[in-house]
């Protein structure tokens, strides 16, 4: 996570191409507080650039819900 960017790894699963992505999750101040792993089974027209963009969108959604490291451990209500 030193790059502060999604790490995308292309793999094969049951003969089908999949992407395994690890994304940084930031607190309200921009500090990395966690990482999230996401697996994508894209359609043929969804290349690595699409996977990276979608991963960044998911990270932003997570960050809007978790403003600090402490909030990671609070129950969701």
The angle subtended at Cα 76 by Cα 70 and Cα 68, nearest 5°, is: 20
CB count in 10 Å sphere of residue 10: 12
Give domain limits for the chain. Answer: 7-68
Complete edge-to-edge strand list for the sheet that includes strand 32-40: 7-13, 16-26, 32-40
> Would you state the structure tokens that stand for residue 41, as one six-digit string?
């089974």
**pLDDT tens-place string over residues 28-77:** 899 999 999 999 998 888 888 999 999 999 999 989 988 888 888 888 76
Q: What is the pLDDT of residue 27?
A: 92
> What are the b/e assignments for 37-50, b being 16+ CB within 10 Å?
ebebeeeeeeeeee
Q: What is the pLDDT of residue 35?
A: 93
pTM: 0.80
Q: What is the pLDDT of residue 77?
A: 65
**pLDDT tens-place string over residues 12-22:** 888 888 999 99
């Amino acid at each position: 996570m030193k790059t502060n960017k999604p790490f995308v790894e292309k793999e094969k699963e049951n003969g089908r191409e999949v992407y395994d992505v690890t994304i940084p999750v930031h607190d309200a101040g921009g500090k990395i507080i966690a990482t999230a792993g996401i697996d994508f089974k894209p359609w043929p027209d969804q290349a690595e650039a699409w996977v990276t963009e979608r991963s960044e969108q998911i990270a932003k959604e997570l960050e809007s819900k978790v403003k600090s490291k402490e909030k990671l451990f609070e129950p969701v209500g």
